[in-house]
């Protein structure tokens, strides 16, 4: 029995215990030094180095050369395969034997052709258990392979984490040997580390803290590292301490094993596939060894990768999902950004994700999982609910710089202390660190209910009764249990209305303009392909809807909406891959468009040539450039009905008497140019600035007195750390207008159908811009086609329009609707929104008049006072030093209007700018008459999507998605010329609403909407006459 404790001094006692478990000091005599016993070298080690990411079967057949500990390999992004031949000494019978492996990079152990465990120093995974007890007759010789990726957990940043990768990095194996592992020492180390943690965490003025330290000190007194027979008494002391329970009122922490894996970020997509395999195979091992351990896993795309490349691992995940230990969560294809994807794209994240989870794991997710995102659309709750999701988990709001949100964090930081007594705790190394470790699980097991700490709750495999779970005191929890506990307190929780604005990462609305442009274009292409293919399906018995191709293309687009790709916060390798993905979608999409157009034309006699298609749900009359023989183009004014087509006007009828006033273009002697189409009159000064924008009918001026619009401005853009992510409020203090040179403005198109003027602008010594300002017949907005050659460092380019409008609120388009944000900096909540995101339009309106700014590929915006500002280009240098350098092309447009933006048609104008009329070549005769498939009686309701129903791959059922865009309650009629057999409402996952049958009256359906409501319906079509 140890002597009675002497008078205790806090610091010396604490440090004494620390030294007893230290991996650095006194390992010759302390407990840590005994964790491993005897060791022996490998029988043989050889390696094979490759720039490729090879499959196992191919890799093991390569030429392996002898290798040894201390060898270097690389460079960055290469892979080194090690063949590990080993023989366990016979004397080790009865012992637990590990392969100890320490190397840079991320390793994966293969045994008998299957991946079995990840190895990363960064994720505290440096040993692989060969046997937990070597038996007499067990085979003692075997060959393993270790596949080591030449990148760290967070890529290969040169110097700092988010710096661009160092392509020359070399890697090294520093340990490869067999060793006897002492499990009893490990257990005691876990006890002591926890006691130390409690003593330090609870602090010197806490009674329980002293008890923890006293217990730890007693353990050190009693335990002789060289005498394992002293361990049980020591362990009993620890168990007694941890077994002292807390009271009923203790806070409950729901601990869930997790591994947040960014689908691409500081490493390319292909490395993510291997990160998933390494992490999940490690989780599988933990699930095997700890039946109460639950691992939650999000992102269908990652599971799909593992399914196709590691089928054995996928089958194991399915097994553990059946047992309730592996819990797929989130419901989405990837953890997408919460701001930039369109409403329809957000729906598809859930549609593709939920269908995958149901197919592979037998059920859909009930919680949306978005720990990491750069914002939260106000439409998320509606979209989630209609996709079978009731709960939401995130943590990013805790990053807010200015205002803190009432969200859950740790116990001390729980902002709802009086309202709920449960919180979530996700544990595990992310991004390829392999998730949780056995030590983490061991620690949590000891903390099931210990006085002085929150309770660590636990759940158990699905289907168990809640009551039984409580009495069993299993230790680890699941999302289901967390949310049901929170739900029981939901009556006491507060409600937040509108968007959850993240007061950080506002630069991601602008960074990597080409990715943003690719995203917007591909959203349009897939919209058009689905719509046109649906019409072809309805009209032609022979047409096969390209369901499989469309699923692939959608998944590719959704993949790139991951929260570090579409946001532009990725490395150059990823940005290049994203551009290839967009190019794939464009080229395949255009092929599919042509095929659908050909099917629509078939059987309709008419002139050969072009089919003019309108994929928007209202009639449009617009100027269109039509391709003419010999590669030329000619302008024509065409009218196309709602969701339908019209024959192209014959070349001879090209210059008809214009139904409206033609465009006049006048250049004054001072060099300024006026464009006038009878609706708006635009006046540009000799440098290209907008000095006047008048609504002709009323004579109302839209540009603020004494100010000019189309003013380009440069800002210094140096954030605190997160370069590609953050633009700080202080950048506004560095505003410098870019001044043009008089005499650069010239007339482009001279008027008639179209008038334009163009100019050049030197932005800086290295960057320049050219712009064509275009006004068409009958068009209510003026377009600014812009080309920029951009070569800057840490500069931000915007364009400003000071308006003759005053309002405390500006309106911005978001998914399926819009919301208002302040134009002033009254409070911290207001000024924290100095840079916000918008989709296709923003508007500043006062009573009776307003000015809208439309765009074809931008997302960053702001309105301060009366100045509308569109964010154009940034120049961050990390993690991609080449981000945004080079040539850009984009278009924005300005639309002054009377009345409200809703009544003036701003929303339709923004759609028109983004969905140009299509002039598709018809292989044979094109139809002679116009045709419309759908139209809607109310201008407030947008028919956003027409597609084939997922559930009937060869079937003749369409899904229509509509939403209320004005922000009001609406009753309206949907007209259709298609042969509809049955119409029924459905949810966003296309599941029929049993009470949702809609009667068809005179080829029309009645629909009702509440403000911004999204509704979907299934239309079962009659077979077409063959």
3-state secondary structure 793-840: CCEEEEEEEEECCCCCEEEEEECCEEEEEECCCCCHHHHCCCCEECCC
Nearer to Zn ion by Cβ, of 124 and 372: the residue is: 372
Host H or E run for residue 200:
helix 183-202
Percent helix / strand / coil, the chain, rounded to 5? 25, 30, 40
Nearer to Zn ion by Cβ, of 73 and 429: the residue is: 429
Nearer to Zn ion by Cβ, of 301 and 976: the residue is: 301
| Residues within window 224-283 making contact with Zn ion, judged by CB under 5 A | 262
The least distance separating Zn ion from the CB of residue 394, rounded to whole angstroms, comes to 11
Nearer to Zn ion by Cβ, of 262 and 292: the residue is: 262
- In 772-795, which positions are buried (b, 16+ CB within 10 angstroms) versus exposed (e)? bbbbbbbbbbbbbbbebebbbeeb
Q: Where are the beta strands (DSSP E) in 163-264?
A: 171-181, 252-258
The stretch near Zn ion (CB under 5 A) out of 47-55, 372-380, 438-446, 770-778 is 372-380
Contact status, residue 611 vs residue 640, Cβ threshold 8 Å: no
Copy the structure tokens of residue 301. 């795309």
Q: Return the ∠ at Cα 716 (arms to 711 and 719), rounded to 5°.
A: 130
Nearer to Zn ion by Cβ, of 238 and 334: the residue is: 334
Task: Tell me how far the alpha carbon of residue 427 is from its chain's centroid.
Answer: 21
Nearer to Zn ion by Cβ, of 360 and 372: the residue is: 372
Whole-number Å distance between alpha carbons of 289 and 116? 13
* Beta carbons within 8 Å of 64's beta carbon, 6+ residues apart: 46, 47, 48, 81, 83
Residue 930 CB: number of other CB atoms within 10 A? 16
Nearer to Zn ion by Cβ, of 191 and 262: the residue is: 262
The stretch near Zn ion (CB under 5 A) out of 5-13, 370-378, 486-494, 999-1007 is 370-378
The least distance separating Zn ion from the CB of residue 258, rounded to whole angstroms, comes to 12
Contact status, residue 600 vs residue 611, Cβ threshold 8 Å: yes
Nearer to Zn ion by Cβ, of 372 and 442: the residue is: 372
Q: Judged by CB under 5 A, does residue 701 bind Zn ion?
A: no
Please report which residue ranges of 223-299 form alpha helices under DSSP H: 231-242, 269-289
Nearest to 196 by CA among 429, 387, 398, 10: 10
Task: Tell me how far the alpha carbon of residue 874 is from its chain's centroid.
Answer: 20
Coil, strand or helix: which one is 903?
Answer: helix
Nearer to Zn ion by Cβ, of 333 and 849: the residue is: 333
The least distance separating Zn ion from the CB of residue 655, rounded to whole angstroms, comes to 56
Q: Return the ∠ at Cα 282 (arms to 458 and 78), rounded to 5°.
A: 145
Nearer to Zn ion by Cβ, of 262 and 685: the residue is: 262
The least distance separating Zn ion from the CB of residue 209, rounded to whole angstroms, comes to 35
* Beta carbons within 8 Å of 288's beta carbon, 6+ residues apart: none
Contact with Zn ion (CB under 5 A) among 124, 184, 360, 372 = 372
Nearer to Zn ion by Cβ, of 372 and 787: the residue is: 372
The least distance separating Zn ion from the CB of residue 260, rounded to whole angstroms, comes to 6
Strand partners, 623: 637
The least distance separating Zn ion from the CB of residue 262, rounded to whole angstroms, comes to 4
Copy the structure tokens of residue 50. 């490759």
Contact status, residue 317 vs residue 279, Cβ threshold 8 Å: no
The least distance separating Zn ion from the CB of residue 354, rounded to whole angstroms, comes to 21
The least distance separating Zn ion from the CB of residue 372, rounded to whole angstroms, comes to 3
Nearer to Zn ion by Cβ, of 373 and 914: the residue is: 373
Residue 324 CB: number of other CB atoms within 10 A? 16
The least distance separating Zn ion from the CB of residue 563, rounded to whole angstroms, comes to 6
830 catalytically annotated: no
- Left (φ > 0), alpha (ψ -120 to 50) or beta: where does 469 sit? alpha
The least distance separating Zn ion from the CB of residue 399, rounded to whole angstroms, comes to 12
Copy the structure tokens of residue 907. 């929303």
Catalytic residue among 372, 584, 729, 830: 372
Residue facing Zn ion at closest CB distance: 372
Q: What are phi and psi of 519, to 5 degrees?
A: -65, -50
CA-to-CA separations, 706 to 711, 714, 806, in angstroms, rounded: 13, 21, 15
Copy the structure tokens of residue 12. 């010396």
The stretch near Zn ion (CB under 5 A) out of 80-88, 300-308, 369-377, 592-600 is 369-377
Whole-number Å distance between alpha carbons of 238 and 367? 38
Number of amino acids touching Zn ion (CB under 5 A): 2
The least distance separating Zn ion from the CB of residue 763, rounded to whole angstroms, comes to 34
CA-to-CA separations, 550 to 360, 531, 589, 590, 919, in angstroms, rounded: 20, 12, 8, 12, 22
The least distance separating Zn ion from the CB of residue 564, rounded to whole angstroms, comes to 6
Whole-number Å distance between alpha carbons of 765 and 361? 58
Whole-number Å distance between alpha carbons of 586 and 525? 7
Whole-number Å distance between alpha carbons of 699 and 679? 10
The least distance separating Zn ion from the CB of residue 330, rounded to whole angstroms, comes to 13
Task: Tell me how far the alpha carbon of residue 900 is from its chain's centroid.
Answer: 34
Whole-number Å distance between alpha carbons of 123 and 240? 31
Coil, strand or helix: which one is 283?
Answer: helix
Nearer to Zn ion by Cβ, of 372 and 830: the residue is: 372
Contact status, residue 782 vs residue 681, Cβ threshold 8 Å: no
Residue positions annotated with a catalytic role: 372
Q: Which residues bind Zn ion (CB under 5 A)?
A: 262, 372
């Amino acid at each position: 029995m140890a002597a009675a404790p002497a008078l205790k001094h806090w610091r010396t006692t604490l440090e004494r215990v620390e030294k007893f478990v230290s991996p650095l000091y006194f390992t010759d005599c302390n407990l840590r030094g005994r964790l491993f016993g005897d060791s022996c070298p490998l029988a043989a080690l050889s390696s094979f180095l490759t720039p490729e990411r090879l499959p196992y079967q191919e890799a093991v057949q390569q030429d392996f050369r002898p290798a040894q500990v201390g060898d270097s390999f690389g460079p960055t992004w290469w892979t080194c395969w090690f063949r590990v031949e080993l023989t366990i000494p016979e004397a080790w019978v009865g012992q637990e034997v590990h392969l100890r492996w320490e190397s840079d990079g991320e390793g994966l152990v293969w045994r008998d052709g299957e991946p079995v465990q990840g190895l990363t120093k960064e994720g505290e995974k440096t040993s692989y258990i060969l046997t937990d007890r070597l038996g007499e007759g067990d085979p003692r010789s075997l060959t393993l392979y270790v596949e080591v990726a030449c990148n760290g957990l967070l890529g290969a940043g040169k110097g700092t984490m988010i710096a661009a990768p160092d392509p020359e990095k070399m890697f090294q194996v520093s340990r490869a040997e067999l060793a006897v592992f002492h499990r009893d020492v490990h257990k005691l180390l876990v006890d002591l580390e926890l006691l130390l943690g409690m003593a330090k965490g609870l602090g010197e003025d806490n009674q329980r803290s002293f008890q923890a330290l006293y217990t730890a000190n007693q353990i050190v007194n009693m335990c002789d590292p060289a005498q394992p027979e002293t361990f049980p008494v020591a362990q009993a002391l620890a168990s007694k301490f941890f077994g002292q329970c807390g009271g009923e009122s203790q806070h409950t922490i729901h601990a869930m094993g997790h591994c947040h894996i960014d689908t691409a970020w500081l490493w390319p997509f292909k490395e993510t596939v291997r990160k998933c395999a390494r992490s999940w195979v490690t989780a599988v091992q933990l699930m095997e060894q700890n039946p109460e351990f639950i691992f939650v896993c999000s992102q269908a795309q990652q599971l799909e990768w593992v399914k196709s490349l590691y089928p054995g691992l996928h089958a194991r995940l399915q097994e553990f999902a059946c047992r309730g230990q592996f819990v797929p969560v989130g419901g989405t294809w990837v953890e997408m950004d919460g701001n930039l994807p369109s409403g329809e794209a957000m729906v598809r994240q859930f549609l593709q994700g939920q269908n995958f989870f149901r197919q592979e794991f037998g059920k859909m997710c009930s919680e949306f999982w978005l720990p990491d995102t750069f914002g939260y659309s106000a439409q998320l709750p509606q979209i989630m609910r209609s996709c079978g999701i009731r709960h939401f988990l995130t943590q990013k709001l805790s990053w807010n710089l200015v205002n803190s949100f009432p969200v859950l964090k740790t116990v001390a930081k729980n902002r709802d202390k009086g309202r709920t007594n449960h919180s979530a705790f996700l544990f595990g190394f992310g991004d390829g660190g392999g998730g949780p470790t056995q030590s983490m699980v061991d620690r949590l097991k000891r903390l099931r209910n210990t006085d002085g700490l929150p309770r660590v709750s636990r759940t158990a495999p699905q289907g168990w009764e809640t009551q039984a779970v409580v009495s069993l005191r299993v230790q680890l929890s699941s999302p289901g249990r967390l949310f049901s506990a929170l739900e029981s307190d939901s009556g006491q929780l507060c409600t937040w209305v509108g968007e959850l604005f993240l007061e950080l990462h506002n630069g991601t609305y602008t960074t990597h303009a080409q990715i943003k442009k690719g995203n917007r274009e591909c959203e349009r292409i897939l919209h058009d392909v689905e719509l046109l293919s649906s019409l072809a399906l309805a009209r032609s018995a022979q047409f096969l809807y390209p369901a499989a191709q469309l699923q692939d293309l959608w998944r590719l687009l959704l993949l790139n909406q991951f929260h570090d790709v579409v946001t532009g916060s990725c490395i150059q390798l990823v940005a290049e891959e994203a551009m290839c993905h967009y190019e794939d979608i464009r080229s395949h999409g255009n092929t599919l468009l042509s095929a659908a157009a050909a099917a629509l034309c078939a059987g309709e006699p008419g002139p050969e040539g072009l089919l003019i298609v309108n994929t928007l749900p209202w009639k449009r009359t617009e100027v269109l450039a039509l391709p003419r023989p010999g590669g030329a183009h000619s302008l024509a004014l065409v009218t196309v009905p709602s969701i339908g087509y019209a024959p192209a006007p014959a070349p001879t009828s090209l210059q008809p008497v214009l139904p409206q006033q033609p465009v006049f273009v006048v250049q004054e002697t001072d060099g300024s140019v006026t464009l006038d189409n009878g609706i708006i009159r635009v006046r540009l000064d000799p440098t290209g600035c907008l000095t006047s924008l008048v609504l002709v009918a009323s004579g109302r001026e839209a540009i603020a007195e004494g100010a000019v619009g189309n003013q380009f401005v440069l800002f210094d853009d140096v954030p605190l750390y997160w370069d590609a992510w953050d633009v700080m409020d202080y950048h506004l203090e560095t505003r410098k207008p870019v001044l043009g040179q008089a005499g650069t403005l010239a007339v482009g198109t001279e008027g008639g159908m179209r008038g334009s003027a163009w100019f050049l602008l030197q932005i800086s010594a290295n960057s320049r811009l050219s712009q064509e300002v275009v006004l068409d017949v009958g068009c209510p907005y003026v377009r600014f086609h812009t080309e920029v050659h951009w070569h800057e460092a840490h500069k931000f380019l915007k364009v400003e329009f000071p308006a003759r409008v005053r309002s405390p609120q500006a309106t911005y388009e978001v998914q399926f609707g819009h919301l208002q944000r302040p134009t002033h900096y009254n409070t911290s909540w207001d000024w924290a929104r100095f840079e916000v995101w918008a989709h296709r339009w923003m508007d500043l309106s006062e009573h009776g008049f307003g000015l809208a700014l439309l765009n074809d590929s931008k997302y960053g915006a702001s309105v301060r006072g009366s100045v509308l500002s569109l964010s154009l280009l940034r120049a961050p240098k990390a993690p991609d030093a080449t981000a945004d350098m080079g040539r850009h092309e984009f278009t924005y447009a300005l639309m002054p209007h009377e009345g409200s933006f809703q009544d003036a048609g701003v929303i339709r104008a923004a759609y028109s700018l983004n969905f140009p009329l299509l002039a598709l070549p018809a292989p044979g005769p094109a139809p002679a008459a116009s045709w419309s498939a759908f139209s809607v009686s109310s201008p407030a309701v947008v028919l956003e999507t027409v597609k084939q129903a997922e559930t009937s791959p060869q079937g003749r059922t369409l899904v229509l998605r509509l939403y209320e865009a004005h922000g009001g309650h609406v009753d309206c009629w949907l007209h259709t010329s298609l042969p509809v057999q049955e119409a029924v409402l459905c949810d966003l996952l296309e599941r029929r609403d049993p009470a949702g049958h809609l009667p068809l009256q005179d080829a029309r359906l009645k629909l009702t909407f509440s403000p911004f409501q999204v509704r979907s319906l299934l239309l079962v079509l009659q077979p077409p006459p063959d």
